[in-house]
Amino acid sequence: MQEAFDLIVEKTAEALKKQGFEQSKDFEDDLGPAVLFVNKDAAYSIVFKTNDNMFELRSTNMTDDGPNSSWKSVSNWIFDPEQDTLREAEAIATDFIETVEGPSRLEEIRKAQRQAFKDDDNNPGPLFFFKRLVNIFPDLKEQINEDIEFVSNKTDVATLTRSIVNQKTDAVVLEDSYYKLLKDEYEDLDNTKIIAKYKIKVEKKKNSDKVDVKTNPFIIYISGIDTYGSISTTSRSDVNILAVVNPKEAKILLVFIPRDYYVTLNSIGYKDKLTHAGIYGVDMSMKTIEDLLDIDINYYIRLNFSTLTKSIDLLDGIDVYSDRTFTPWTNKSLKIYEGVNHMDGKMALAFARERKVYETGDRHRGENQQAIISAMITKMNNLKYLLKYKEILNSLDQTFETNMQYDEITNLFKKQIEERTNFEVESISLDGTGASMPTYSMGSRRLYVMQPDYTTVTNAHNKIVDLTK
């Protein structure tokens, strides 16, 4: 326990010292081992409650006689010294740091929120939608302007949601994918009503920095969204895979990043699940991953259920190994057997979505998704399908979204046909530790996240750099 205590204190102390807090040497607590940090206005203490097996972070104000005796608990975590490890202590330390950094980062967060709600055609915010609403119903313009108080950027969306559920707010304007996210977390939203829906079309620019994909290494971000139908729909990114391609060496590295990875959102500067980054657009997901791995991503491809099933069927199915026999929870009519299975699109989709039968859940699901992509690459090494690439691309039209130019995609197939090179595929996964943390998208509400294991992050970075030299 002492090692865990020292680790949590050391890391939290670094964050507090940046805010002018100093550690007091003479401090004891009847509840268990404890430390005290003070500045002229406030105090924090960290205590391990021996009887409860709990780490607690507390705060209070300063008086002339020292810290006020009326402590407020601001974060607490169960920690069993006989079972828990330093990985759990790292998660606790991260949470304590996030907690004490809150006040000092308030203006940074507000600035990020103002940027996130900037009203322009490329980044439409609530005010943008409100103006559109008024323009759609010009006959109601005067009434709307008189009777409705519009409050922009007053608080986070999660708090706004609670306010409408509690009938403190009459209406809010939300991006559709955000609404779906909140519905998963707030059952009371079923008692609210959608009064109008509007589609805003934003044209995405193609990548201007073209790469000679026949000769130069490049990185593709593969984003899988958990839906059927239109690929243009903004949504959470439940599948996050990097395909690092070196055409000269005929090597592909697949890097799986868990959907619950606890990362700092690019341009927002606040922590959230990686899957939630997709709510703010594919660029947010890409840039967030770039920050995490310290790399540059050249392209993206957004896929959904329809893309996967159709592309595999066009390849006449794929052969994929399963390490166990099971009935997929998403399709009870199917059975997947231990060993190599020949899968059509429907079976491959069920296999790619499965996590409930595995002890490691999302980790194993990521491995299955990598296996499917590897099998598809292997199938495309077959000259029969290489020669049909135009037919396949035309059949998949409107089922995927990418910033790759058509000629860049076709150049990859042409190279394969000309040189008949079989790509060697390697797969790796980032790992981490489960924890309960607040997120940017859901405000103070704690959600399950995965704290990154930065050893695996560094390993992935090094492999990517080596392959793209």
pLDDT single digits (tens) 277-317: 988 888 999 999 999 999 999 999 988 777 888 889 999 99
Share the mean pLDDT of the chain: 80
Q: Which of 152-161, 189-198, 304-313, 454-463: highest mean pLDDT?
A: 454-463
Handedness of CA 135, 140, 146, 151 (dihedral sign): negative
Q: Is the model's pLDDT at 208 over the cut of 60? A: no
Token pair belonging to 115: 């940027």
Strands 299-303 and 262-264: unpaired
Q: Is 7 exposed, middle or buried (0-12, 13-18, 19+ CB in 10 A)?
A: middle
pLDDT, tens digit, for every residue of 35-72? 999 988 889 999 999 888 888 899 888 888 888 888 88
Closest CA to 440 of 116, 176, 88: 116
8 A C-beta contact, residue 242 and residue 257: yes
Give the fold, CATH level 3, of 218-467: Aminopeptidase (3.40.630)
pLDDT, tens digit, for every residue of 438-447? 888 877 677 8
Q: 157-165 and 176-185 helices cross at what angle (nearest 10)?
A: 60
8 A C-beta contact, residue 24 and residue 38: yes
Instruction: Summarize the confidence of residues 381-393 as an average pLDDT.
Output: 82
- Is the model more confident about 324 or about 119? 324
Residue 250: CA count within 13 A, CB half-sphere: 11
User: Which helix (DSSP H) or strand (DSSP E) does residue 35 occupy?
Assistant: strand 34-38
Confidence (pLDDT) at 228: 58
Q: Is 13 exposed, middle or buried (0-12, 13-18, 19+ CB in 10 A)?
A: buried
Confidence (pLDDT) at 28: 83
**What is d(CA 441, CA 450) in angstroms, rounded to the nearest whole number?**
16
Structural domain spans, the chain:
2-101, 109-191, 218-467
